[in-house]
Structure 1
Amino acid sequence: MIGVQLALISALRACGRHRPASLAMPGNVRRSGHKSLLAAGLLASSALFLSAHQARADEYSDLLDILKIKGSLTQGEYSALMIKHRRHQQEMAEAESERSERHSGRFASARDQDHSGRIRSASASSSAHHVAVAGGLDVTPVFLDAQDAAYDAAASARSARQSMLAAQAAINDPGIVRTDKYVPGKGITFHAGSVAINLSGFVNGFYTYDNAYGRYVGGGTSAGAGGSKFDASAVRNGYLPAALITKITTTQEGIDMAAVFGMYPGLDNNKPGAMNANSGGSPVGLGTPGIDFRQVYMTFGNKKMGTVKIGRDLGIFGSDAILDDATLITVGSVGGNSAPGNTSLGRIGVGYLYADWIPQISYQSPMMSGVQVTVGVMQPMDEFNFAGTNNEGAGPDALSAQSTHHSSPMAQGKVTYDFTSGDFKGRVWAGFLIQHQQRLYSSVISQNQGRSATVEAGEVGTKLSYKGFEGVAYYYRASGLGTTGLFFDGITPTGHKRNSEGYYVQGSYSFDKRLRVAASYGVSNLYQAPGEIDSILVRRNESEVGALFYKWTDWIQFVAEYSHTESIAHSGNRGKDNSASGGAVLLF
């Protein structure tokens, strides 16, 4: 702009020097002449500015080069946009050639007119192709240059718009794949037209040393509940196995849709049992790890109508308790360390029941002033005799009844309330579970007797954070639901429901963005039904966990942990274990 201003001043001064000083003009003619000179100068400056802008028009190519170097454009996107830009440049060059020929003809005509008489007029209705000012200065060429500059500006605007439309078309072109800017922990997102594909996951591994001892406790979570004393070392997964999660999303007719596939392989050899990939492992040569395909579901909805989910995913009841548990990315209670399965127990059975991955049709409402409701119908699950028998794992006397028939689904739901006040943030939730168990059977009753029971459970919890501090408190109570897993040992061999309850409290503090410490304590109790006598069935599982986390990069953090777990039977038997773990977790 400074160069343009200097050019304007020089042009005005030149016009002043060429006007004869002795020329006398009436005041209105002088004023008209001054205005015409100013108009001519402004037109000349506009022409200079637009010409300079035209010279810089190919900065679009430079911009594409920079975006490609910075990684904002893929090679395919860069090539497509550059081809379109060069085509536009060619069209502009052809138009420029036509304008030059037109301008040459007009300039020659104006020159001939100047030689024949230098037509002068101060009239505002002068021909647009022949503008003159008093004093003998013919500014027709200047006006023509300005007119051509205006044509160039219009052509540049058309080219810019065409390039913008081409860029927008490229973004939605299904033949061009682009990526979002990477955000740590959110996975990698690719876009193919209107479809987005997100890949995320994690990998973890720990060295764990466990010292276990005690007497047999049916259904106990302590490694010592098996009734022997031993030390064990393992290289294993923690509470989580590894995971590769693929999420495919799009929006059609205002409806957001997604398909999710979550594959969770373990490190150690698999030995299928009642818990499938989550059963105890088999540390024998030529083994293979278990692949746990936990998630297969779709969602559809939007912020106004809410979201419907159909498929297999984490259950509703107990889900917040799990996701807020600090042992989620550590080991917690090992469960068994001499032959590790896909995962450890974390705090399962020592503070909450495992929510599990359940086939479901569920609905989550829109967020309304921080309140959200989630309800669903689930695949009903069998009552299961997890504790075994009353003879230290052998013999005919089963400790719990079982079932295999269901005429109605399981129902689950919860209400959450999220709030923020400055640096203070929190969530409060309450949930429920209900299922009718039919045709119970055991060594005492047969399915033909038609014994049934309605299982009920409720939960409440809260998570609060203030700057570097975070606290979690959770409590559940159930009738017939059992302990550790859903419907594990919840009903007696005679068909009566056992009550159970549990809780955990947890606190953590982040010293900075890298270093964090956490500690938690949890208990799960399983009570006897009326008429039951003391047995080796578990009465109480409890554990204390302390962990140190160091976030080395956005992807990797190191973890060191100590945990103590104890299981107590109604008969007084106890099993204990103390474990120490160290390892790393990578999340992307």
Structure 2
Amino acid sequence: MRPLLGAGLLAGSALVAVAQPAHADEYTDLLDILRVKGSLTQGEYSVLTAKHRRHLQQDASERSEGRPARLADARTADRSSNLRTTATRTAHGHGTMADPDVTPVFLDARDAADRAAASAQSAHDSMLAAQAAIHDPTIVRTDKYVPGKGVTFHAGEVAINLSGFVNGFYTYDNAYGRYVGGGTSAGAGGSKFDASAVRNGYLPAALITKITTTQNGIDMAAVFGMYPGMDNSKTGALNANSGGSPLALGTPGIDFRQVYMTFGNKKLGTFKIGRDLGIFGSDAILSDATLITLGSIGGNSAPGNTSLGRIGVGYLYADWIPQISYQSPVMHGVQLTGGILQPLDEYNFAGTNDNGTGTQALSAQSSYHSSPMVQGKVTYDFTAGDIKARLWAGFLLQRQQRLYSSVITEQEKKSATVEAGEVGAKLSYKGFEGVAYYYRASGLGTTGLFFDGVTPSGHKRNSEGYYVQATYSFDKRFRVSGSYGVSNLYQAPGEIDSILVRRNESEVGALFYKWTDWLQLVAEYSHTESISHSNNRGKDNSASGGAVLFF
């Protein structure tokens, strides 16, 4: 209350300091000062001003009736004297005089100041109560919503974030060609056909729950990510990523691909334990524009949970792998990430080949692992004016033991150490964004990790691939993207030409229109071709249109 009363006292003190003879407009000056200081409301100001004007009219009327000017001037001077005296007494806490013309002004002003002070105290008390409620575990509150960042609830020291996306596309595909073992083209199946589908894109849908808190200076989080598809699932070697089953009474699959925890802080770095996206190849996927489209569809007659995007036509799938990993703090734009991951089996994805003397597996397999897979990468982020860039390099190591095939047995204890490296760059300048990526591996295979990476006799096959991509945003809503990518799988010494895939490649063009903060409309065309070592070819051309909703 004291600061607000001080406003009225300051006004009174200012009037006391006036040395010249008082005039009738001192009332108006006082009222103006009190209103500016907030001691009078607009209504109170209007009432007191009207009353003051009536007094002035009364004085003018007395003069016009011939009454002595001295009497009117004396009355005015007396009011001004009372006004100054009242201001002085109020300033020193001695109350007010009983003059009927002056006293109401100061009483009303003081009452207004008291009410304002009480209101300010009430607001202060409310602020303290709100601050206390932030840490009250019995009260749930929400953060201001940011599009694409999900909805965050706070219960005391715990934050719960819900985010996700939903997509759907109509896709028409024209496929033709001859069989290619391990080919990504829909035409690599060896027949010509047209197919229509209503399906998911490279991503299925997702509902992601993240629970975070800080205890003893350590930031902790638990993440659960469910990724359901819209099409019917069909049990297969690749689980929810196997081809679908478009039959009545079918049900879709749920890919619960994320279950992990993190703990650490900006000074110590962050540890991760659980199932999440692998480290090797992760930046290649997350920079890929087909992430929210389809890219290479990989088959359209019985669609599964997802399409291929650029998997096998520019990079290998990083996959969602159980891991214990560590991410360092960012130091001058540089960050290190590394970890041990669940070792994956060597897999004969391409199937078999009839060489004239009977069928033979195209690749060796392994399911014995005495040591973990190791992955790591380094990233460097920097900004120079309007240019923003990220550079990265990564590696993968795993030993495949007790390989077996139709040619060798586990008892022979043949093994192969798989090695892989990658480099990439992502650069943006105003509306333009460009990506370039390259990988090379020995024994890692193509498309999926450890798919067809070792020959039936136990020798490693080399592989490499790359993709380039350009995206341009005309404004905040409309953008266009185009990309080209290749994945090559080479024969090992001593191998003869076979139907095993030698090269997968694709071109993709897409248009994006951001209708709202949540909703994007997408139109896309892609061409994919697979070529075997025996020069078999499978091709397909697909056109798709649909929408993606992020929340």
TM-score interval for Structure 1 and Structure 2 normalised by the shorter chain: 0.7 to 0.9
- Is the CA contact 2:8–2:109 (under 8 Å) kept in the aligned structure 1? no
- The reply to whether residue 206 of structure 1 matches residue 169 of structure 2 is yes
- The reply to whether residue 429 of structure 1 matches residue 433 of structure 2 is no
CA distance in 2, matches of 1:283, 1:151: 76
- Is the CA contact 2:511–2:524 (under 8 Å) kept in the aligned structure 1? yes
CA distance in 2, matches of 1:211, 1:505: 25
Q: How far does residue 180 in structure 1 lie from its aligned partner after superposition?
A: 1.1
After superposition, where does 1:133-532 map in structure 2 within 5 Å? 159-391=122-354, 396-532=359-495
- Is the CA contact 1:129–1:144 (under 8 Å) kept in the aligned structure 2? no
1:8 to 5, 8, 12: 12
Aligned to 1:91: none
2:529 to 554, 566, 570: 566
- The reply to whether residue 557 of structure 1 matches residue 514 of structure 2 is no
Judged with a 3 Å threshold, the aligned counterparts in structure 2 of structure 1 residues 12 and 289 are, in CA distance, closer, same or farther, namely same
Q: How far does residue 165 in structure 1 lie from its aligned partner after superposition?
A: 1.8
Query: What one-letter code is carried by the residue in structure 1 that aligns with 2:253?
Result: G
Q: Which moves more between the two structures, 526-535 or 187-196? A: 187-196
CA distance in 2, matches of 1:488, 1:286: 33
Query: What one-letter code is carried by the residue in structure 1 that aligns with 2:246?
Result: P
Q: What whole-Å deviation, never above 9, does each CA across 1:82-131 have from its counterpart, x for those lacking one?
A: xxxxxxxxxxxxxxxxxxxxxxxxxxxxxxxxxxxxxxxxxxxxxx9879
Question: Which secondary structure state, in structure 2, belongs to the residue aligned with residue 348 of structure 1?
Answer: coil
Judged with a 3 Å threshold, the aligned counterparts in structure 2 of structure 1 residues 4 and 154 are, in CA distance, closer, same or farther, namely closer
- Is the CA contact 2:39–2:110 (under 8 Å) kept in the aligned structure 1? no
Q: What whole-Å deviation, never above 9, does each CA across 1:348-375 have from its counterpart, x for those lacking one?
A: 0000000000000010000111000000
After superposition, where does 1:87-106 map in structure 2 within 5 Å? none
Question: Which secondary structure state, in structure 1, belongs to the residue aligned with residue 271 of structure 2?
Answer: strand
Q: How far does residue 8 in structure 1 lie from its aligned partner after superposition?
A: 2.8
Judged with a 3 Å threshold, the aligned counterparts in structure 2 of structure 1 residues 150 and 466 are, in CA distance, closer, same or farther, namely closer
Q: Which moves more between the two structures, 438-447 or 144-153? A: 144-153
Judged with a 3 Å threshold, the aligned counterparts in structure 2 of structure 1 residues 16 and 358 are, in CA distance, closer, same or farther, namely same
Judged with a 3 Å threshold, the aligned counterparts in structure 2 of structure 1 residues 9 and 291 are, in CA distance, closer, same or farther, namely same
Q: What whole-Å deviation, never above 9, does each CA across 1:142-182 have from its counterpart, x for those lacking one?
A: 99999999999997776554332211011222222111111
Query: What one-letter code is carried by the residue in structure 1 that aligns with 2:200?
Result: N
Query: What one-letter code is carried by the residue in structure 1 that aligns with 2:500?
Result: L
CA distance in 2, matches of 1:577, 1:49: 78
CA distance in 1, matches of 2:223, 2:437: 29
Query: What one-letter code is carried by the residue in structure 1 that aligns with 2:395?
Result: F
CA distance in 2, matches of 1:146, 1:52: 6
Judged with a 3 Å threshold, the aligned counterparts in structure 2 of structure 1 residues 150 and 182 are, in CA distance, closer, same or farther, namely closer
Aligned residues: 494
Structure 1: gaps (5+ residues) = 19-41, 57-127, 133-141
Q: What whole-Å deviation, never above 9, does each CA across 1:496-553 have from its counterpart, x for those lacking one?
A: 0000000000011111111111110000000001111111000000001111111111
Question: Which secondary structure state, in structure 1, belongs to the residue aligned with residue 516 of structure 2?
Answer: coil
Q: How far does residue 477 in structure 1 lie from its aligned partner after superposition?
A: 0.2
Query: What one-letter code is carried by the residue in structure 2 that aligns with 1:272?
Result: T
Aligned to 1:39: none
Matched-pair identity in %: 81
CA distance in 1, matches of 2:295, 2:450: 22
Q: How far does residue 285 in structure 1 lie from its aligned partner after superposition?
A: 0.6
Query: What one-letter code is carried by the residue in structure 2 that aligns with 1:325?
Result: D
CA distance in 2, matches of 1:153, 1:513: 46
- Is the CA contact 1:180–1:188 (under 8 Å) kept in the aligned structure 2? yes
Query: What one-letter code is carried by the residue in structure 1 that aligns with 2:315?
Result: Y
Question: Superposition RMSD on alpha carbons, in Å?
Answer: 3.7
Judged with a 3 Å threshold, the aligned counterparts in structure 2 of structure 1 residues 312 and 6 are, in CA distance, closer, same or farther, namely closer
Q: What whole-Å deviation, never above 9, does each CA across 1:54-83 have from its counterpart, x for those lacking one?
A: x99xxxxxxxxxxxxxxxxxxxxxxxxxxx
- Is the CA contact 2:8–2:39 (under 8 Å) kept in the aligned structure 1? no
TM-score by length of 1: 0.77
Question: Which secondary structure state, in structure 2, belongs to the residue aligned with residue 233 of structure 1?
Answer: strand
Judged with a 3 Å threshold, the aligned counterparts in structure 2 of structure 1 residues 502 and 129 are, in CA distance, closer, same or farther, namely closer
- Is the CA contact 1:209–1:233 (under 8 Å) kept in the aligned structure 2? yes
- Is the CA contact 1:396–1:443 (under 8 Å) kept in the aligned structure 2? no
Judged with a 3 Å threshold, the aligned counterparts in structure 2 of structure 1 residues 538 and 148 are, in CA distance, closer, same or farther, namely same
TM-score by length of 2: 0.82
Query: What one-letter code is carried by the residue in structure 1 that aligns with 2:237?
Result: A
Q: What whole-Å deviation, never above 9, does each CA across 1:386-439 have from its counterpart, x for those lacking one?
A: 0000139x9641000001110100000000000101111100000000001111
CA distance in 2, matches of 1:16, 1:228: 108
Q: How far does residue 49 in structure 1 lie from its aligned partner after superposition?
A: 6.4
Runs of 4+ in 1 over 4 A off after TM superposition: 3-7, 13-18, 48-53, 128-132, 142-161
- Is the CA contact 2:339–2:374 (under 8 Å) kept in the aligned structure 1? yes
After superposition, where does 1:533-552 map in structure 2 within 5 Å? 533-552=496-515
Question: Which secondary structure state, in structure 2, belongs to the residue aligned with residue 217 of structure 1?
Answer: coil
Query: What one-letter code is carried by the residue in structure 2 that aligns with 1:556?
Result: L
Question: Which secondary structure state, in structure 2, belongs to the residue aligned with residue 390 of structure 1?
Answer: strand
Structure 2: gaps (5+ residues) = 23-29, 45-91, 97-104
CA distance in 2, matches of 1:240, 1:224: 22
Question: Which secondary structure state, in structure 2, belongs to the residue aligned with residue 397 of structure 1?
Answer: strand
